[in-house]
Chains A and B, each alone.
Chain A
Amino acid sequence: MRNLLAFISRYQFLFFYLIFLVISFTLLYNNNYYQRSKVVGVTNGITGKFNTYYENMTSFIDLKRSNDELAKENARLRALLNLKTRIIPDSLVRLENDLTEKYISARIISNSTQYRNNFFMIDKGYTSGIKKDMGVIAGNGVVGIIIDVSEHYSSGISVLHKDSRISGRIKKNDQLVNVSWDGVNYRLGDISHIPTHVSLLPGDTILTSGNSRIFPEGLMIGTVEYVDDEMENMFKKGKVRFTVDYNKISYVYVVDNPTRGELNRLQTKTPNE
Protein backbone atom coordinates (compact mmCIF):
# COMPACT_ATOMS: atom_id res chain seq x y z
CA MET A 1 0.00 0.00 0.00
CA ARG A 2 2.77 2.40 0.96
CA ASN A 3 4.57 1.49 -2.23
CA LEU A 4 1.46 2.23 -4.25
CA LEU A 5 1.07 5.64 -2.63
CA ALA A 6 4.73 6.38 -3.19
CA PHE A 7 4.34 5.39 -6.81
CA ILE A 8 1.30 7.63 -7.23
CA SER A 9 2.98 10.63 -5.62
CA ARG A 10 6.08 10.08 -7.78
CA TYR A 11 4.01 10.08 -10.95
CA GLN A 12 1.14 12.22 -9.72
CA PHE A 13 1.23 14.56 -12.72
CA LEU A 14 0.79 11.64 -15.11
CA PHE A 15 -1.75 10.11 -12.75
CA PHE A 16 -3.95 13.24 -12.68
CA TYR A 17 -3.57 13.64 -16.43
CA LEU A 18 -4.89 10.13 -16.97
CA ILE A 19 -7.87 10.85 -14.71
CA PHE A 20 -8.77 13.99 -16.69
CA LEU A 21 -8.18 12.13 -19.93
CA VAL A 22 -10.64 9.42 -18.91
CA ILE A 23 -13.23 12.03 -17.88
CA SER A 24 -12.86 13.82 -21.23
CA PHE A 25 -13.09 10.59 -23.20
CA THR A 26 -16.20 9.59 -21.28
CA LEU A 27 -17.79 12.94 -22.08
CA LEU A 28 -16.76 12.68 -25.70
CA TYR A 29 -17.99 9.13 -26.02
CA ASN A 30 -21.30 9.55 -24.22
CA ASN A 31 -22.20 12.76 -25.92
CA ASN A 32 -22.30 11.88 -29.54
CA TYR A 33 -25.61 12.81 -30.96
CA TYR A 34 -27.35 9.52 -30.30
CA GLN A 35 -26.87 9.31 -26.58
CA ARG A 36 -26.29 12.61 -24.84
CA SER A 37 -26.18 13.00 -21.12
CA LYS A 38 -28.60 15.05 -19.08
CA VAL A 39 -25.76 17.34 -17.98
CA VAL A 40 -25.63 19.00 -21.35
CA GLY A 41 -29.38 19.53 -21.30
CA VAL A 42 -29.00 21.55 -18.12
CA THR A 43 -26.06 23.59 -19.36
CA ASN A 44 -28.12 24.47 -22.42
CA GLY A 45 -30.04 26.80 -20.14
CA ILE A 46 -26.85 28.67 -19.22
CA THR A 47 -25.18 28.84 -22.63
CA GLY A 48 -28.58 29.63 -24.13
CA LYS A 49 -28.82 32.77 -22.02
CA PHE A 50 -25.37 33.96 -23.15
CA ASN A 51 -26.22 33.23 -26.77
CA THR A 52 -29.50 35.15 -26.47
CA TYR A 53 -27.66 38.23 -25.18
CA TYR A 54 -25.24 38.02 -28.08
CA GLU A 55 -28.02 37.43 -30.61
CA ASN A 56 -30.01 40.37 -29.21
CA MET A 57 -26.97 42.60 -29.59
CA THR A 58 -26.19 41.58 -33.15
CA SER A 59 -29.57 40.69 -34.66
CA PHE A 60 -30.41 44.24 -35.74
CA ILE A 61 -27.65 44.02 -38.33
CA ASP A 62 -29.67 41.80 -40.62
CA LEU A 63 -33.18 42.95 -39.68
CA LYS A 64 -33.92 44.06 -43.22
CA ARG A 65 -33.05 40.71 -44.73
CA SER A 66 -34.96 38.81 -42.01
CA ASN A 67 -38.00 40.98 -42.74
CA ASP A 68 -37.81 40.23 -46.44
CA GLU A 69 -37.53 36.55 -45.70
CA LEU A 70 -40.51 36.56 -43.35
CA ALA A 71 -42.59 38.59 -45.81
CA LYS A 72 -41.86 36.01 -48.51
CA GLU A 73 -42.72 33.22 -46.12
CA ASN A 74 -46.00 35.00 -45.27
CA ALA A 75 -46.87 35.31 -48.92
CA ARG A 76 -46.21 31.63 -49.46
CA LEU A 77 -48.36 30.62 -46.49
CA ARG A 78 -51.15 32.96 -47.58
CA ALA A 79 -51.13 31.35 -50.99
CA LEU A 80 -51.39 27.94 -49.34
CA LEU A 81 -54.36 29.14 -47.28
CA ASN A 82 -56.21 30.31 -50.36
CA LEU A 83 -55.93 26.85 -51.85
CA LYS A 84 -57.95 25.35 -49.03
CA THR A 85 -61.73 25.54 -49.17
CA ARG A 86 -62.17 25.59 -45.44
CA ILE A 87 -60.73 28.53 -43.57
CA ILE A 88 -58.41 27.36 -40.83
CA PRO A 89 -58.12 29.83 -37.95
CA ASP A 90 -54.46 29.00 -37.27
CA SER A 91 -52.26 28.90 -40.33
CA LEU A 92 -49.62 26.82 -38.56
CA VAL A 93 -51.89 23.75 -38.62
CA ARG A 94 -51.63 22.34 -42.09
CA LEU A 95 -54.67 20.08 -42.26
CA GLU A 96 -57.88 19.46 -40.31
CA ASN A 97 -56.88 16.15 -38.80
CA ASP A 98 -54.60 16.50 -35.78
CA LEU A 99 -52.41 13.60 -36.91
CA THR A 100 -50.66 15.92 -39.33
CA GLU A 101 -47.59 18.03 -38.72
CA LYS A 102 -47.60 21.11 -36.57
CA TYR A 103 -45.02 23.84 -36.79
CA ILE A 104 -43.49 25.73 -33.89
CA SER A 105 -41.76 28.91 -34.92
CA ALA A 106 -38.43 29.75 -33.28
CA ARG A 107 -35.45 32.02 -33.62
CA ILE A 108 -31.88 30.82 -34.11
CA ILE A 109 -29.70 32.18 -31.29
CA SER A 110 -26.45 30.45 -32.15
CA ASN A 111 -25.33 28.79 -35.32
CA SER A 112 -22.14 27.82 -37.11
CA THR A 113 -21.08 26.73 -40.58
CA GLN A 114 -17.30 26.64 -40.40
CA TYR A 115 -16.68 23.42 -38.46
CA ARG A 116 -16.75 19.83 -39.62
CA ASN A 117 -19.69 19.30 -37.27
CA ASN A 118 -22.03 22.24 -36.92
CA PHE A 119 -24.73 22.85 -34.35
CA PHE A 120 -27.40 25.46 -33.82
CA MET A 121 -29.46 26.62 -30.87
CA ILE A 122 -33.02 28.00 -30.83
CA ASP A 123 -34.92 30.05 -28.29
CA LYS A 124 -37.74 27.55 -27.63
CA GLY A 125 -37.59 24.59 -25.27
CA TYR A 126 -39.86 21.92 -23.83
CA THR A 127 -42.27 24.53 -22.46
CA SER A 128 -43.09 25.26 -26.12
CA GLY A 129 -43.55 21.57 -26.90
CA ILE A 130 -40.19 20.88 -28.48
CA LYS A 131 -38.86 17.35 -28.12
CA LYS A 132 -35.69 15.51 -29.07
CA ASP A 133 -35.42 14.27 -32.69
CA MET A 134 -37.86 16.82 -34.13
CA GLY A 135 -36.92 18.27 -37.50
CA VAL A 136 -36.11 21.93 -37.98
CA ILE A 137 -36.87 23.69 -41.26
CA ALA A 138 -36.59 27.19 -42.64
CA GLY A 139 -39.11 28.71 -45.03
CA ASN A 140 -37.15 27.38 -47.99
CA GLY A 141 -35.48 24.18 -46.85
CA VAL A 142 -34.19 21.81 -44.19
CA VAL A 143 -32.04 23.05 -41.30
CA GLY A 144 -31.40 20.16 -38.90
CA ILE A 145 -32.61 17.91 -36.09
CA ILE A 146 -33.15 18.73 -32.38
CA ILE A 147 -30.85 16.78 -30.06
CA ASP A 148 -31.13 18.54 -26.71
CA VAL A 149 -34.00 20.34 -25.06
CA SER A 150 -33.98 22.45 -21.90
CA GLU A 151 -36.76 24.59 -20.45
CA HIS A 152 -36.49 27.56 -22.83
CA TYR A 153 -33.79 26.49 -25.31
CA SER A 154 -33.00 23.60 -27.62
CA SER A 155 -29.93 22.69 -29.58
CA GLY A 156 -29.69 20.65 -32.70
CA ILE A 157 -27.30 19.26 -35.23
CA SER A 158 -27.24 21.13 -38.47
CA VAL A 159 -27.43 19.54 -41.91
CA LEU A 160 -23.74 20.51 -41.94
CA HIS A 161 -22.64 17.65 -39.67
CA LYS A 162 -20.76 14.45 -40.36
CA ASP A 163 -23.64 12.34 -39.02
CA SER A 164 -26.36 14.18 -40.89
CA ARG A 165 -28.04 12.16 -43.61
CA ILE A 166 -31.26 13.33 -45.26
CA SER A 167 -33.43 11.10 -47.34
CA GLY A 168 -34.16 13.03 -50.54
CA ARG A 169 -36.21 12.53 -53.66
CA ILE A 170 -35.48 13.73 -57.19
CA LYS A 171 -38.47 15.84 -58.11
CA LYS A 172 -38.74 14.89 -61.78
CA ASN A 173 -38.61 11.10 -61.41
CA ASP A 174 -39.29 10.40 -57.72
CA GLN A 175 -36.05 8.44 -57.25
CA LEU A 176 -34.72 8.30 -53.69
CA VAL A 177 -31.21 9.61 -52.94
CA ASN A 178 -29.18 10.39 -49.84
CA VAL A 179 -27.97 13.89 -49.07
CA SER A 180 -25.02 14.41 -46.69
CA TRP A 181 -22.22 16.94 -46.18
CA ASP A 182 -18.48 16.47 -46.77
CA GLY A 183 -17.25 19.38 -44.66
CA VAL A 184 -15.76 21.61 -47.35
CA ASN A 185 -18.22 24.17 -48.68
CA TYR A 186 -21.27 24.97 -46.56
CA ARG A 187 -23.33 25.79 -49.64
CA LEU A 188 -22.79 22.38 -51.30
CA GLY A 189 -23.99 18.98 -50.11
CA ASP A 190 -23.19 15.48 -51.35
CA ILE A 191 -25.78 13.39 -53.17
CA SER A 192 -25.07 9.68 -52.96
CA HIS A 193 -26.87 6.48 -53.86
CA ILE A 194 -28.02 7.67 -57.27
CA PRO A 195 -28.68 4.47 -59.27
CA THR A 196 -26.73 4.56 -62.55
CA HIS A 197 -29.83 4.28 -64.76
CA VAL A 198 -31.44 7.34 -63.20
CA SER A 199 -30.99 10.53 -65.16
CA LEU A 200 -29.91 13.47 -63.06
CA LEU A 201 -28.77 16.75 -64.56
CA PRO A 202 -27.44 20.00 -63.12
CA GLY A 203 -30.36 22.18 -62.12
CA ASP A 204 -32.67 19.33 -61.14
CA THR A 205 -34.54 19.79 -57.88
CA ILE A 206 -34.02 17.56 -54.82
CA LEU A 207 -36.88 17.45 -52.32
CA THR A 208 -37.22 15.74 -48.93
CA SER A 209 -38.75 12.28 -49.21
CA GLY A 210 -40.60 12.52 -45.91
CA ASN A 211 -39.80 8.85 -45.25
CA SER A 212 -38.26 9.51 -41.85
CA ARG A 213 -41.24 11.64 -40.71
CA ILE A 214 -38.69 14.11 -39.33
CA PHE A 215 -39.10 16.58 -42.17
CA PRO A 216 -42.34 17.17 -44.07
CA GLU A 217 -42.50 15.60 -47.49
CA GLY A 218 -41.69 17.66 -50.58
CA LEU A 219 -39.63 20.35 -48.87
CA MET A 220 -36.86 21.76 -51.01
CA ILE A 221 -33.31 20.60 -50.17
CA GLY A 222 -31.52 22.15 -53.13
CA THR A 223 -30.70 22.01 -56.80
CA VAL A 224 -28.15 19.70 -58.39
CA GLU A 225 -24.83 21.44 -59.01
CA TYR A 226 -23.14 18.65 -60.95
CA VAL A 227 -23.18 14.88 -61.25
CA ASP A 228 -20.02 12.81 -61.16
CA ASP A 229 -20.43 9.95 -63.62
CA GLU A 230 -17.66 7.95 -62.02
CA MET A 231 -19.35 4.95 -60.47
CA GLU A 232 -18.91 3.63 -56.99
CA ASN A 233 -20.61 0.29 -56.26
CA MET A 234 -23.13 0.81 -59.05
CA PHE A 235 -24.12 4.23 -57.75
CA LYS A 236 -23.38 7.70 -59.02
CA LYS A 237 -22.46 10.67 -56.86
CA GLY A 238 -23.14 14.36 -57.18
CA LYS A 239 -23.28 17.73 -55.50
CA VAL A 240 -26.36 19.67 -54.47
CA ARG A 241 -26.53 23.40 -53.81
CA PHE A 242 -28.60 23.93 -50.65
CA THR A 243 -31.48 26.39 -51.00
CA VAL A 244 -30.92 27.49 -47.42
CA ASP A 245 -27.91 29.69 -46.80
CA TYR A 246 -26.96 28.22 -43.41
CA ASN A 247 -24.88 31.22 -42.60
CA LYS A 248 -27.93 33.49 -42.75
CA ILE A 249 -30.82 31.60 -41.17
CA SER A 250 -32.55 33.45 -38.36
CA TYR A 251 -36.17 32.26 -38.18
CA VAL A 252 -37.03 28.56 -38.34
CA TYR A 253 -39.91 26.15 -37.73
CA VAL A 254 -39.70 23.02 -35.63
CA VAL A 255 -41.74 20.20 -37.11
CA ASP A 256 -43.90 18.22 -34.72
CA ASN A 257 -45.18 15.09 -36.41
CA PRO A 258 -47.45 13.13 -34.05
CA THR A 259 -47.21 9.96 -36.12
CA ARG A 260 -43.43 9.72 -35.95
CA GLY A 261 -43.32 7.90 -32.60
CA GLU A 262 -45.76 5.34 -33.88
CA LEU A 263 -43.73 4.85 -37.03
CA ASN A 264 -40.50 4.43 -35.06
CA ARG A 265 -42.06 1.75 -32.86
CA LEU A 266 -43.23 -0.10 -35.95
CA GLN A 267 -39.77 0.13 -37.51
CA THR A 268 -38.05 -1.30 -34.44
CA LYS A 269 -40.47 -4.23 -34.56
CA THR A 270 -39.77 -5.03 -38.19
CA PRO A 271 -36.28 -6.41 -38.71
CA ASN A 272 -34.48 -3.81 -40.78
CA GLU A 273 -32.07 -4.69 -43.60
Chain B
Amino acid sequence: MNKKLIGNIARFVVLALAQVFIFNKVMVSGYVNPMVYVLFILMLPYDIKGFQLLLLAFLMGLTIDLFMHTPGMHALASVTLAFLRPGVIRLVGKKDDVEPWQYPNVRDSGAAWFLAYTVILVFLHHLMIFYLEVFRLDEFLRTFVKVLINTALSTLIIMMLQYLFYSRKVE
Protein backbone atom coordinates (compact mmCIF):
# COMPACT_ATOMS: atom_id res chain seq x y z
CA MET B 1 0.00 0.00 0.00
CA ASN B 2 2.80 2.40 0.91
CA LYS B 3 4.50 1.60 -2.34
CA LYS B 4 1.41 2.71 -4.26
CA LEU B 5 1.24 5.90 -2.23
CA ILE B 6 4.87 6.70 -3.00
CA GLY B 7 4.16 5.96 -6.67
CA ASN B 8 1.44 8.60 -6.67
CA ILE B 9 3.63 11.17 -4.92
CA ALA B 10 6.44 10.50 -7.38
CA ARG B 11 4.01 10.94 -10.28
CA PHE B 12 2.91 14.28 -8.84
CA VAL B 13 6.47 15.59 -8.57
CA VAL B 14 7.75 14.19 -11.87
CA LEU B 15 4.75 15.35 -13.92
CA ALA B 16 4.73 18.82 -12.34
CA LEU B 17 8.44 19.30 -13.06
CA ALA B 18 8.14 17.83 -16.57
CA GLN B 19 5.22 20.16 -17.30
CA VAL B 20 7.05 23.27 -16.08
CA PHE B 21 10.49 22.58 -17.49
CA ILE B 22 9.85 20.45 -20.57
CA PHE B 23 6.33 20.73 -21.96
CA ASN B 24 5.97 24.45 -21.22
CA LYS B 25 9.18 25.08 -23.14
CA VAL B 26 7.93 23.41 -26.31
CA MET B 27 8.06 26.13 -28.91
CA VAL B 28 6.61 25.40 -32.29
CA SER B 29 4.15 28.22 -32.70
CA GLY B 30 1.62 30.14 -30.65
CA TYR B 31 -0.73 27.20 -30.92
CA VAL B 32 1.23 24.39 -29.37
CA ASN B 33 1.11 24.01 -25.61
CA PRO B 34 0.56 20.42 -24.43
CA MET B 35 -0.59 19.90 -20.84
CA VAL B 36 0.54 16.49 -19.72
CA TYR B 37 0.33 17.06 -15.96
CA VAL B 38 -3.36 16.03 -16.04
CA LEU B 39 -2.08 12.45 -16.33
CA PHE B 40 -1.51 12.60 -12.56
CA ILE B 41 -5.24 13.14 -11.97
CA LEU B 42 -6.17 10.56 -14.62
CA MET B 43 -4.05 7.92 -12.88
CA LEU B 44 -5.28 8.37 -9.31
CA PRO B 45 -6.81 5.12 -7.93
CA TYR B 46 -10.43 4.24 -8.77
CA ASP B 47 -11.35 3.93 -5.10
CA ILE B 48 -9.98 7.30 -4.03
CA LYS B 49 -12.27 9.34 -1.74
CA GLY B 50 -14.07 12.21 -3.49
CA PHE B 51 -12.52 14.84 -1.28
CA GLN B 52 -8.99 13.51 -1.77
CA LEU B 53 -9.46 13.41 -5.54
CA LEU B 54 -10.56 17.05 -5.63
CA LEU B 55 -7.89 18.21 -3.19
CA LEU B 56 -5.04 16.51 -5.08
CA ALA B 57 -6.29 17.89 -8.41
CA PHE B 58 -6.49 21.34 -6.87
CA LEU B 59 -2.94 21.11 -5.50
CA MET B 60 -1.61 19.92 -8.85
CA GLY B 61 -3.34 22.76 -10.70
CA LEU B 62 -2.11 25.30 -8.18
CA THR B 63 1.49 24.08 -8.50
CA ILE B 64 1.37 24.56 -12.26
CA ASP B 65 -0.33 27.95 -11.78
CA LEU B 66 2.49 29.24 -9.59
CA PHE B 67 5.05 28.57 -12.29
CA MET B 68 2.91 29.91 -15.10
CA HIS B 69 1.79 33.09 -13.31
CA THR B 70 -1.87 32.18 -13.77
CA PRO B 71 -3.23 31.74 -10.22
CA GLY B 72 -6.50 29.83 -10.26
CA MET B 73 -6.63 28.95 -13.94
CA HIS B 74 -5.09 25.48 -13.91
CA ALA B 75 -6.51 24.85 -10.42
CA LEU B 76 -10.01 25.54 -11.69
CA ALA B 77 -9.66 23.35 -14.77
CA SER B 78 -8.00 20.52 -12.80
CA VAL B 79 -10.66 20.49 -10.08
CA THR B 80 -13.34 20.40 -12.76
CA LEU B 81 -11.51 17.54 -14.44
CA ALA B 82 -11.47 15.67 -11.11
CA PHE B 83 -15.16 16.39 -10.59
CA LEU B 84 -16.03 14.97 -14.02
CA ARG B 85 -13.73 11.96 -13.68
CA PRO B 86 -16.15 9.54 -11.91
CA GLY B 87 -18.86 10.38 -14.44
CA VAL B 88 -16.55 9.76 -17.39
CA ILE B 89 -15.36 6.46 -15.86
CA ARG B 90 -19.03 5.40 -15.64
CA LEU B 91 -19.65 6.62 -19.20
CA VAL B 92 -16.70 4.77 -20.70
CA GLY B 93 -17.59 1.66 -18.72
CA LYS B 94 -16.61 1.03 -15.16
CA LYS B 95 -14.55 -2.00 -14.28
CA ASP B 96 -16.64 -4.17 -12.02
CA ASP B 97 -14.25 -5.62 -9.47
CA VAL B 98 -11.62 -3.01 -8.71
CA GLU B 99 -8.99 -3.87 -6.16
CA PRO B 100 -7.88 -1.25 -3.67
CA TRP B 101 -5.34 1.15 -5.17
CA GLN B 102 -5.99 -0.05 -8.70
CA TYR B 103 -5.74 2.86 -11.12
CA PRO B 104 -6.51 3.53 -14.81
CA ASN B 105 -3.62 2.72 -17.13
CA VAL B 106 -3.06 1.14 -20.52
CA ARG B 107 -1.93 -2.24 -19.21
CA ASP B 108 -4.90 -2.97 -16.92
CA SER B 109 -7.65 -0.99 -18.61
CA GLY B 110 -6.94 -1.70 -22.26
CA ALA B 111 -5.84 0.76 -24.92
CA ALA B 112 -9.31 1.63 -26.26
CA TRP B 113 -10.76 2.23 -22.80
CA PHE B 114 -7.83 4.38 -21.71
CA LEU B 115 -7.78 6.35 -24.95
CA ALA B 116 -11.49 7.20 -24.75
CA TYR B 117 -11.17 8.10 -21.07
CA THR B 118 -8.15 10.35 -21.75
CA VAL B 119 -9.53 12.09 -24.84
CA ILE B 120 -12.81 13.05 -23.15
CA LEU B 121 -11.25 14.42 -19.97
CA VAL B 122 -8.29 16.12 -21.65
CA PHE B 123 -10.64 17.81 -24.13
CA LEU B 124 -12.87 19.17 -21.34
CA HIS B 125 -9.82 20.32 -19.37
CA HIS B 126 -8.25 22.08 -22.36
CA LEU B 127 -11.59 23.66 -23.27
CA MET B 128 -11.66 25.35 -19.86
CA ILE B 129 -7.98 26.31 -19.86
CA PHE B 130 -7.87 27.99 -23.26
CA TYR B 131 -11.15 29.89 -22.87
CA LEU B 132 -10.18 31.05 -19.39
CA GLU B 133 -6.83 32.19 -20.80
CA VAL B 134 -8.42 34.32 -23.50
CA PHE B 135 -11.45 35.32 -21.44
CA ARG B 136 -13.35 36.89 -24.28
CA LEU B 137 -15.32 35.57 -27.19
CA ASP B 138 -13.90 37.52 -30.12
CA GLU B 139 -11.14 34.95 -30.57
CA PHE B 140 -13.65 32.09 -30.35
CA LEU B 141 -12.69 30.10 -33.42
CA ARG B 142 -8.95 30.49 -33.03
CA THR B 143 -9.20 29.36 -29.42
CA PHE B 144 -11.24 26.32 -30.44
CA VAL B 145 -8.57 25.31 -32.96
CA LYS B 146 -6.04 25.63 -30.13
CA VAL B 147 -8.17 23.36 -27.94
CA LEU B 148 -8.39 20.69 -30.67
CA ILE B 149 -4.70 20.76 -31.57
CA ASN B 150 -3.58 20.59 -27.97
CA THR B 151 -6.09 17.90 -27.00
CA ALA B 152 -4.65 15.74 -29.78
CA LEU B 153 -1.09 16.53 -28.75
CA SER B 154 -1.57 16.03 -25.00
CA THR B 155 -3.40 12.75 -25.62
CA LEU B 156 -0.63 11.57 -27.94
CA ILE B 157 2.06 12.34 -25.35
CA ILE B 158 0.03 10.72 -22.56
CA MET B 159 -0.46 7.55 -24.64
CA MET B 160 3.24 7.49 -25.49
CA LEU B 161 4.15 7.79 -21.80
CA GLN B 162 1.67 5.00 -21.02
CA TYR B 163 3.23 2.63 -23.52
CA LEU B 164 6.71 3.60 -22.34
CA PHE B 165 6.08 2.88 -18.66
CA TYR B 166 3.03 0.62 -18.34
CA SER B 167 3.01 -1.69 -21.33
CA ARG B 168 4.87 -4.53 -19.64
CA LYS B 169 3.58 -6.48 -16.68
CA VAL B 170 5.58 -5.57 -13.61
CA GLU B 171 5.78 -7.25 -10.20
Contacts and interface: CB of A to CB of B under 8 A. Distances in A.
Does B bind A? yes
Interface of A: 12-14, 16-17, 20-21, 23-31, 36-37, 39-40, 43, 46-47, 50-51, 54, 110, 112-117, 119, 155, 162, 182-186, 247
Given A27-B72, A43-B66, A116 B50 contact: no
B50 A13 contact: yes
Contact of B30 (A13, A20, A46, A186): A186
B51 A116 contact: no
Given A24-B61, A24-B72, 5 more contacts: A20-B79, A47-B66, A112-B68, A115-B30, A155-B69
Interface string B126-161: 000010111110010010000000000000000000
Contacts of A186: 30
Interface centre among B20, B30, B65, B134 (most CB of A within 10 A): B30
Contacts, number: 104
The 5 closest A-B pairs by CB, nearest first: A28-B72, A27-B72, A24-B76, A13-B50, A119-B69
Contacts of B29: 114, 185
Interface centre among A27, A30, A186 (most CB of B within 10 A): A27
Contacts of B142: 183-184
A233 B27 CA distance: 37
B40 interface: no
Given A115-B133, A116-B134, A24 B68 contact: no
A14 B53 CA distance: 12
Nearest to A27: B72
Contacts of A113: 27, 30
B33 A114 contact: yes
B67 interface: yes
A24 B65 CA distance: 11
A38 to B, nearest CB: 12
Contact of B67 (A14, A20, A47): A47
A51 B33 CA distance: 19
Contacts of B65: 27
A47 B69 CA distance: 10
Nearest to B25: A112
B72 A114 contact: no
Nearest to B138: A182
Given A113-B27, A114-B27, A114-B29, A21 B79 contact: yes
B115 interface: no
A115 B33 contact: yes
B20 A50 contact: yes
Given A24-B58, A183-B139, A31 B72 contact: yes
Contacts of B31: 114
B54 A16 contact: yes
Contacts of A184: 30, 142
B167 interface: no
A86 to B, nearest CB: 42
